[in-house]
């Protein structure tokens, strides 16, 4: 009897072992397919679900019309209209509030990256195609070889359909898997009013990343927004929280843009005023006016999205996981407190390096037109508003006469006739 039972047990056991061995990759593939197809079908509803209160078609995208990743990207987000004029004086030569043009403040700017693929010599990376047999041949990144370099400035250059450029980090095989390991910093060294920050990823969008701002040259980094599939665990902020009138400058976290797919071309847009009630009365809301000011923007890429197959430590799999961004845009206005209609590059007095400053009018001065010219301090400096330019006024005739002998003809020429 015993000799008859043994084979029957083996017959039952063997098929089970085979099923277990075959099902692991099969389930992985089904998982990959389901992720790819489910996200493709929901992409249009997930990615761009902003309300349209502050959208203004100001910036034109820098891609050809047939660029496949742009098919559903909206024009732009802008700060609320406050009747800002392009000229600082009206037709009767009366001062009025003015401001530089809204623009992509990141265009052609240098970005500092704490890690770049191939900066320590040629490294291999592989493209993530979603299925193992569809994996394209691996390539080499090398920061010193132009056609193999994927450098930080490739995030802020001009892209075309046939010449898509991108920055990328080293791969997971090179140890890029720790939070805070990869920072991308754009330092304006000048205050801007930030309307939105937009990233187009060449890799899959990260599982977790965050956007920070700095408001002075040496100030701490202030969080603007967190993106994570695990908001609470990673950043300690509940997913999908919202702001109220009492905490309008609170950074939020959302899991809405942390899907694994699309595997390339996914976009994330952070609008500084989106969902903040006080933005409807932005002109009279000092807290939000301060909230949109930044002198530098930092992206911290904390965790990659994966299929979970990195646990097998297959080198080809590890080489297919990296951070990569093809476009980094910042919709913003150069901040001049309503006293300049453009910003210009001037050589720094100490270093000679070009830096951006406001071309001040209304008898103001400073990088941001944030003070009155000498001899124009009859009343305290103030920012221009829609109803009052608050131009700096010339002091009394006696004071003006005395100071006019000071050898600074520059001051007298500044006076508007």
How many other C-beta atoms lie within 10 A of the C-beta of residue 181? 17
Given the rule CB under 5 A, which of 36-44, 116-124, 152-160, 260-268 is the region that contacts Ca ion?
A: 152-160
228 binds Ca ion (CB under 5 A): no
159, 171, 203, 210: which one binds Ca ion (CB under 5 A): 159
Beta bridge partners of residue 254, listed in sequence order: 227
Q: Report how far residue 70's alpha carbon sits from residue 93's, in angstroms, rounded to the nearest whole number.
A: 44
Provide, rounded to whole angstroms, the least separation between the CB of residue 189 and Ca ion. 23
Provide, rounded to whole angstroms, the least separation between the CB of residue 166 and Ca ion. 6
Given the rule CB under 5 A, which of 148-156, 192-200, 337-345, 365-373 is the region that contacts Ca ion?
A: 148-156
Provide, rounded to whole angstroms, the least separation between the CB of residue 181 and Ca ion. 22
Contacting residues for 52 by C-beta, under 8 A, at least 6 apart: none
Given the rule CB under 5 A, which of 161-169, 260-268, 278-286, 382-390 is the region that contacts Ca ion?
A: 161-169
Q: Which is nearer to Ca ion, 170 or 327 (CB)?
A: 327
Positions 289 through 328 that interact with Ca ion (CB under 5 A): 326
How many other C-beta atoms lie within 10 A of the C-beta of residue 237? 17
Q: Report how far residue 255's alpha carbon sits from residue 303's, in angstroms, rounded to the nearest whole number.
A: 13
Positions 55 through 84 that interact with Ca ion (CB under 5 A): none
Residue tagged 């097998």 (tokens): 312
Compute the half-sphere exposure of residue 183: CA atoms within 13 Å on the CB side of its CA.
12
Q: Name the DSSP class of 215.
A: S
Q: Report how far residue 147's alpha carbon sits from residue 350's, in angstroms, rounded to the nearest whole number.
A: 36
Spatial contact of 103 and 234, defined as CB atoms under 8 Å apart: no
Number of chain residues interacting with Ca ion (CB under 5 A): 5
Report the candidate in 330, 325, 331 with the shortest Cα–Cα distance to residue 78.
331
Provide, rounded to whole angstroms, the least separation between the CB of residue 150 and Ca ion. 9
Provide, rounded to whole angstroms, the least separation between the CB of residue 274 and Ca ion. 25
Provide, rounded to whole angstroms, the least separation between the CB of residue 67 and Ca ion. 11
Q: Report how far residue 188's alpha carbon sits from residue 153's, in angstroms, rounded to the nearest whole number.
A: 14
Name the residue with the smallest CB distance to Ca ion: 165
165, 191, 320, 329: which one binds Ca ion (CB under 5 A): 165
Contact residues for Ca ion, defined by CB under 5 A: 154, 157, 159, 165, 326
């Amino acid at each position: 009897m015993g000799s008859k039972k043994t084979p029957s047990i083996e017959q039952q056991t063997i098929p089970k072992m085979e099923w277990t061995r075959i099902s692991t990759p099969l389930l992985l593939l089904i998982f990959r397919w389901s992720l790819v197809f489910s996200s493709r079908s929901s992409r249009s509803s997930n990615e761009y679900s902003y309300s349209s209160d502050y959208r203004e078609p100001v910036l034109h995208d820098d891609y050809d019309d047939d660029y496949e990743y742009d098919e559903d990207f909206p024009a732009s987000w802008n700060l609320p209209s406050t009747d800002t004029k392009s000229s600082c004086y009206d037709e009767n030569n009366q001062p009025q509030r003015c401001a530089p043009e809204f623009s992509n403040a990141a265009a052609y700017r240098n970005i500092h990256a704490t890690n770049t693929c191939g900066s320590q010599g040629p490294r291999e990376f592989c493209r993530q195609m979603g299925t193992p047999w569809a994996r394209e041949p691996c390539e080499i990144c090398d920061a010193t070889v132009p056609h193999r370099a994927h450098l930080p400035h490739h995030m802020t250059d001009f892209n075309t359909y046939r010449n898509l450029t991108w920055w990328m980090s080293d791969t997971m095989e090179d140890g890029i898997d720790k939070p805070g390991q990869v920072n991308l910093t754009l330092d304006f060294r000048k205050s801007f009013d930030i309307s939105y920050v937009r990233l187009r990823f060449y890799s899959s969008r990260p599982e977790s990343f965050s956007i920070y701002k700095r408001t002075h040259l040496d100030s701490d980094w202030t969080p603007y927004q967190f993106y994570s599939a695990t908001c609470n665990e990673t950043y300690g902020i509940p997913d999908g929280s919202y702001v109220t009138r009492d905490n309008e400058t609170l950074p939020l976290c959302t899991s809405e843009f942390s899907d694994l797919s699309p595997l390339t071309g996914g976009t994330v847009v952070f609008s500084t005023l989106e969902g903040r009630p006080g933005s409807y009365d932005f002109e009279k809301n000092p807290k939000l006016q301060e909230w949109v000011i930044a002198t530098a923007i930092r992206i911290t890429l904390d965790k990659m999205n994966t299929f979970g197959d990195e646990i097998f430590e297959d080198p080809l799999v590890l080489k297919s996981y990296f951070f990569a961004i093809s476009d980094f845009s910042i919709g913003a206005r150069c901040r001049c407190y309503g006293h300049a209609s453009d910003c210009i590059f001037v050589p720094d007095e100490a270093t000679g390096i070009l830096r951006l400053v406001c071309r001040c009018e209304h008898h103001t001065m400073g990088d941001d037109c944030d003070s009155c010219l000498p001899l124009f301090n009859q009343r305290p400096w103030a920012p221009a508003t829609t109803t009052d330019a608050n131009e700096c006024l010339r002091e009394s005739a006696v004071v003006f006469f005395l100071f006019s002998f000071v050898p600074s003809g520059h001051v007298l020429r500044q006076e508007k006739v």
